[in-house]
Structure 1
Amino acid sequence: MITPTDSTHSADKNPYLGSLSVLTSLFFIWGFITCLNDILIPHLKAVFTLNYAEAMLIQFCFFTAYFVVSIPSGYLVEKIDYKGGIIAGLAVAGLGCLLFYPAASLHSYPLFLAAFFVLASGITLLQVAANPYVTILGNPDTASSRLTTTQAFNSLGTTIAPYFGALFILATAVKTADEIKLLDSEELSAYQAAQAAAVQNPYLLLAAVLFAVAIIFTLIKLPKIESAKPQVSAVEDDVHASAWGYRHLVLGAIGIFVYVGGEVSIGSFLINFLGEPSIAGLAEQDAGKYVSFYWGGAMVGRFIGAAVMQQVQPGKVLTFNAVTAALLVLITMLGSGHLAMWTLLAVGLFNSIMFPTIFSLAVSALDKHTGQGSGILCAAIVGGAILPVVQGLFADRIGIQLAFFIPALCYCYIAYYGWKGYKPVAIK
């Protein structure tokens, strides 16, 4: 068996480079699928005439899966190893994509929500297996940089997805309830078929890709990794029964909760926000293409951040990015027109390194509790389920622009974590 300590950490070349290259494809795939939610939200909001809070149930069901499935996924990965977890995750995600076909055919919003949950369950299993696997495959001192690099390919997926979704899902204009009443039975049937196909065809293609990648991972060989023997950590002695005994992990879980919640909240509201007459007044399809700038910024920032964190302490980079993101959101709330539009889109650039940096800082110095810590952090991704709904409730009451105070508060907490909260201290 290969252990992380089998390699010489001072070596310039990572002996696991080939395996890491294969794993980057997974980060691309789940980034692409997750970001399609930002396109489906305004589409389904219009199709089912939903308010903002009801539309955010999409993100609620999607990210609730992380909370429900993460801990069981951790135990499953321990039983069937990282490769088995990856294959199982791809298969479950593929099944989730297939469920979009009957959901669109039956014009059923509850079935759509169920499909989102199943799809996210598969992606959760993928993340629980792949994220710690990447941190283990190489020098622990560069784990943040390595995970940030692979996450950059996740951002490549999130950059391409909005453009793809805008071309195919938002290409068919959605009629208002009053317009639908004017249609005769034949016209109504044709309209519903067109709306269904706009969702069905892209997700059938995604299902085929996921199953194909699962087969590929079944055939290839990946390193078998066992946890290294516990070493003396930055925390005095590893005397705790679980990862919950480490303050920096608990604070890191809160950091993951608010980061994902803030990032998803912004992405979920972008198309509707850019459609506001006082901002840009863009049509849905045009606004959908601009979402690529938000996620594209995250991709560029991750490549830059991976290089910067080879030289600068990750906590400092995290604090700088979080403070800048908070200021950009504040300008968005107070501004109008293209200023408010571009400051919000620019937040993506500073989101870039947050997830991988918080994740790697939070699991540092956990030794034998690293697996459990990874499960806790992945469960904290449930912030993407809760905070968009909270922001939706505020958007219905105080307006979509002022409701962005939710992600602004999230970035303030992340700045604290990068400044002080990440330091390994055992809870007495």
Structure 2
Amino acid sequence: MALSSPSNGQNPNVFNEKKNWMFPFILVTSLFFFWGFVHNLDPILIPHLRKAFNLSDLQSSLIDSSVFIAYFVMALPAGYIMRKYGYKSGIMIGLILFGIGSILFVPAANSLQYIYFLGALFIIACGLTFLETAANPYVTILGPAETATKRLNFSQSFNGLAAFIAPAYIGPMILSGKNLTKAETDAMSPTELHAYLLNEAASVKMPYLILGLIILAVAVVFYFTNMPDVKDEDVEGAEGASFKGALNSMRLRWGILAQFFYVGAQVCVGSFFIKMATTTAGLEEGTAAKYLGFYGLTFMLGRFAGTFLMQYIQPRKLLIVYATINILLSIMAIMGTGMVVVYTLIAIAFFMSIMFPTIFSMGIDGLGHNTKIGSSLIVMSIVGGALLPPVMGMISDATANIQNGYIVPLSCFAVILLFAFNGHKTNKV
């Protein structure tokens, strides 16, 4: 990537010698696991809180909205802080917000107010915005420029590991397996109903409390670790960085668009996985959560497989193949029945696996001193995860069939295919 070249005013040895960048690379890669872990608890929270608060599909999709709207709100402040004070400062702020938001799940559960859960998730997501704005470009400049995309895919693979562990092992701790009908809840006395709701809400407290404490401990480790960093004053020409200059890049403009639709597709597929599995295949909630774990495992394996394949296939061409396959799989998800639908969703996870890091690295390629601005803009586009799931929820509520909602991810993969064909181009300035 451009930031690792001497032409940008940096000492190339800081980022290219393994003794300087390997340990920070490992430490930053751990962040991909942690934010993947909390993101992949959201598909567990959605059916759990839908049941606890008697929510519609549209209302439960606000869990995704509260998370991903934070990316839109906080991406530019995060980018500014990192341009001014460096990547490490951004990571520290992100970890602190992440930890505090997780711990706030305890008072949210005690209050029995849905809005408080949304608020805690928003604070967590503000922290994740800082982490993702920092970690994604930081990984691309930690090490040789020619392996930046493969390195980012490798780091993102641990996001996939978390996608397996969170639903498979934490999901059963949160989901009680009790599914009362409206008639059953109406027949309860106020005291019985309050006790039931309190018990349902309380199951999230311990997992999020432990997560919050771990994240704050990781923040302490980062604080005492010496990490190579880049601030604007360290980069030649950084004073000329601007949004206009960054947006002159056709790659970045396409990258913003593609990432908006990719994150929307990923959140739609993951967040409604349990609903699809229980309604189309008749699975119990707990069994569906285990299949969601396999969904995450497949996502992780896809990341490692994609990193391997990129040694032989150009990332852009691999993206074309994967996007095409996912368009076909989305059609199968709409038209299929029974367990075929569940296996189709798991297959979609495999072919989604390389999309985020590949779109990200392609989007910021060649930006030079505008890299941090470009990174912020692509992170802002993650707001697609806030806006598109409610659309899917509305289609599901209106048609009384969640499968019809898969027209949304199908359309998203079509946009990603267009990006793969056209997004590699650069402007002739």
TM-score computed with the length of structure 1 as normaliser: 0.92
CA shift for structure 1 position 180: 2.7
Residue number in structure 1 paired with 2:173: 168
After TM superposition, the structure 1 = structure 2 runs for residues 323-342 of structure 1, keeping only pairs within 5 Å, are 323-342=324-343
Q: Which amino acid aligns with 1:378?
A: V
Distance 1:107 1:162, change over 3 A: same
- Greater shift after overlay, 173-182 or 292-301? 173-182
Q: Which amino acid aligns with 2:408?
A: I
Residue number in structure 1 paired with 2:311: 310
Distance 1:224 1:240, change over 3 A: closer
Residue number in structure 2 paired with 1:60: 65
CA distance in structure 2 between the partners assigned to 1:58 and 1:10 by the alignment:
39
CA distance in structure 1 between the partners assigned to 2:413 and 2:175 by the alignment:
31
Q: Which amino acid aligns with 2:342?
A: M
Secondary structure of residue in 2 paired with 1:275:
helix
Residue number in structure 1 paired with 2:358: 357
CA distance in structure 1 between the partners assigned to 2:217 and 2:13 by the alignment:
35
Residue number in structure 2 paired with 1:254: 257
Distance 1:229 1:343, change over 3 A: same
- Greater shift after overlay, 345-354 or 171-180? 171-180
Q: How far does the alpha carbon of each residue in 1:13-63 deviate from its partner, in whole angstroms, 9 at most, with x for none?
A: 685122111111110000000110000000111111111111101101110
Q: Which amino acid aligns with 1:327?
A: L
Residue number in structure 2 paired with 1:372: 373
Q: How far does the alpha carbon of each residue in 1:159-215 deviate from its partner, in whole angstroms, 9 at most, with x for none?
A: 111113321100352433332333345544432332122011111111111111111
CA distance in structure 2 between the partners assigned to 1:175 and 1:101 by the alignment:
24
Q: Aligned residues, how many?
A: 417
Asked if the contact 1:142/1:310 (under 8 Å) is kept, the reply is no
CA shift for structure 1 position 140: 1.7
CA distance in structure 2 between the partners assigned to 1:417 and 1:306 by the alignment:
20
**Percent identity of the aligned residues?**
39
Asked if the contact 1:9/1:139 (under 8 Å) is kept, the reply is no
After TM superposition, the structure 1 = structure 2 runs for residues 29-428 of structure 1, keeping only pairs within 5 Å, are 29-171=34-176, 173-184=178-189, 187-226=192-231, 228-229=235-236, 241-276=244-279, 279-398=280-399, 399-426=401-428
CA distance in structure 1 between the partners assigned to 2:355 and 2:36 by the alignment:
15
Asked if the contact 2:266/2:352 (under 8 Å) is kept, the reply is yes
CA shift for structure 1 position 268: 0.7
Asked if the contact 1:44/1:55 (under 8 Å) is kept, the reply is yes
- Greater shift after overlay, 201-210 or 414-423? 414-423
CA distance in structure 1 between the partners assigned to 2:186 and 2:306 by the alignment:
52
CA distance in structure 1 between the partners assigned to 2:86 and 2:17 by the alignment:
28
- Greater shift after overlay, 96-105 or 37-46? 96-105
Asked if the contact 2:109/2:205 (under 8 Å) is kept, the reply is yes
- Greater shift after overlay, 238-247 or 351-360? 238-247
CA RMSD of aligned residues (A): 2.2
Asked if the contact 1:4/1:225 (under 8 Å) is kept, the reply is no
Q: Which amino acid aligns with 1:341?
A: V
CA distance in structure 2 between the partners assigned to 1:255 and 1:86 by the alignment:
25
Asked if the contact 2:249/2:426 (under 8 Å) is kept, the reply is yes
Residue number in structure 2 paired with 1:235: none
CA shift for structure 1 position 258: 0.2
Query: Unmatched 5+ residue regions in structure 2?
Result: 6-10
TM-score computed with the length of structure 2 as normaliser: 0.92
CA distance in structure 2 between the partners assigned to 1:153 and 1:240 by the alignment:
31
